Structure 1
Amino acid sequence: MSNFTYRKDHIPKGTACNRRPGFAMKPTTITIHNTANEKSSAANERAWLTNPSNKVQASYHIVIDEREAIECIPLNENAWHAGDGSGSTSGNRTSIGIEICESGNYTKTIDNAVMLVAQMLMERGWGVDRLRRHWDWSGKICPRLMYDGGTWSKWYAFKAAVQGRLNELKKEGVASVSDKVTVKAYGKQIKDGKLIDGTVYVPLRAVAEARGDQVSWDNNTKTATIYK
């Protein structure tokens, strides 16, 4: 089983070349890329997004290597990674872009990417039919290390591996690429919050009780009621 860390290091709004425009996005697909840089790690790729010498208007949501995955742009905002403009149905406006690094132990990196993508699909209730190549949006040969002279055999192998891991996760009942968060409500801290795909979820009872209210539950009608 792959083992890597997932961390968030979002580039600031206002980053040069409009790399984080902040357009709200409800993603419907996940797009896979290669970095096309044989020496660059995930940390290097994240740093490149805010490097003053970088003059390219391009960005991505997540970059992953043999050690870690870094979320560079919130997954509920768009990034410029698909090369197909800014239309409402473009990959740039509807798809989460994942860059797979080519440096270091690429086999381990692919294993990590399989795990990450499977987790993301599981969390959203999606299947591998939601996966896209950069190629699918703009015809660019990317992810280039999956091209195989036009056969895309490694792309289909990647999808099959994701499907296999997804099947395992379903058996295990695992579905999480989320963070625990602390919520402050009415001057009190609630420690049971979770951040899932840009949305914070907290127990209803904890919020109500922080306000001094009570909650009742009717199991017959499946109704929760908040009252003074």
Structure 2
Amino acid sequence: MNYRKDHIPRTTAFNRRPGNAMNATTITIHNTANEKSTAANERSWLTNPSNNVQASYHIVVDEREAIECIPLNENAWHAGDGSGASSGNRTSIGVEICESGNYAKTLDNAVTLVAQMLKERGWGVDRLRRHWDWSRKVCPRLMYDGGTWSAWYAFKAAVLGRLNAMNEEGSEMANDKANIKVNGKDVKDGMIIGGSVYVPLRGVGEALGAAITWDNAKKLATITTKEEK
């Protein structure tokens, strides 16, 4: 999925980009409520002269791309709860999910996008909000399910799964290799994990001239040196 920035001007009508500084604490999820509109269409709508409403949002995502319309350190008018210091409008990043085209693909893109945003900030899915949580508007409407919000909980679970996978991948990538020598012999596959050096037991044993056996039933590794034989 392509992510691009196409910020609306500060001079956009109806104060849609007020420029108020924001240190976001949550991410709020919306549906666009337009079955034919793409992310590019939604970005264009923000600066369309025929648009006479104040509403705006930070990011819009569809089956092909995500577009950042307002910088994430500025507020947007997406939560419907006024301009108070603790309002969603002043504390939350608004993400609009398009309803057009391949919605399953769009939803998967949204899961990836939101998981990445959480990972970058060191947040968990407890930081996710619905538009509903701020002003009781039925939004994201495709996750409402007659009031059960089952699709919302499924979305959060999918984001959690994607976030966990990203964190595991990042943890593996962060592990540095360690160079190990035993009696002058190189031992391969040494790793530094969490500040500790880990080496393969068989590699160390063989470098010492020892025999290594493994009892799978007992989960027991045995090292026998020449002196012990």
TM-score, normalization by structure 1: 0.75
Which residue in the other structure is 2:205 paired with?
Answer: none
From 6, 10, 13, the counterpart of 2:7: 10
**Which whole-Å CA distance do the structure 2 matches of 1:122 and 1:141 have between them?**
27
Q: TM-score, with normalisation over the residues of structure 2?
A: 0.74
**How far apart are the structure 2 equivalents of 1:156 and 1:63?**
20
Matched, 1:49 2:46: yes
Counterpart amino acid of residue 70 in structure 1: I
Aligned residue identity for 1:38:
E
- What percent identity do the matched residue pairs reach? 84
Aligned to 1:69: 66
Letter in structure 2 aligned against 1:8: K
- Give the total of aligned pairs: 171
Supply the distance in 2 between the matched residues of 1:147 and 1:172 (Cα, whole angstroms).
Answer: 33
Secondary structure in structure 2 of the residue aligned to 1:114: helix
Q: Give the whole-Å Cα distance in 2 for the aligned partners of 1:14 and 1:29.
A: 26
Q: Using the alignment, how far apart are the partners of 2:95 and 2:102 within structure 1?
A: 18
Looking at CA atoms only, which structure, 1 or 2, has the larger radius of gyration? Answer: 2
Q: Which amino acid aligns with 1:149?
A: G
Counterpart position of 2:130: 133
| 1:20 corresponds to which of 17, 20, 25 | 17
Deviation at 1:31, TM superposition (A): 0.0
Equivalent of residue 122 in structure 1, options 96, 102, 119: 119
Structure 2, gaps ≥5 residues long = 172-229
CA distance in structure 1 between the partners assigned to 2:104 and 2:166 by the alignment: 21
Deviation of 1:144 (Å): 0.1
What SS class does the counterpart of residue 94 from structure 2 fall into? strand
Pairwise CA RMSD: 0.6
Alignment-mate amino acid for residue 140 of structure 1: K
- Unaligned runs of at least 5 residues, structure 1: 175-228
Amino acid at match of 1:144: R
Could you tell me which of 143, 146, 149 is aligned with 2:143?
146
The letter of the residue matching 1:117 is V
* CA distance in 2: counterparts of 1:97 and 1:150, whole angstroms: 22
Q: Secondary structure at the match of 1:39?
A: coil
Aligned-partner residue type, residue 122 of structure 1:
K
Q: In the alignment, residue 107 of structure 1 is paired with which amino acid?
A: A
Q: Counterpart of 1:177?
A: none
Cα deviation digits, residues 86-124 of structure 1 (max 9, x gap): 000000000000000000000000000000000000000
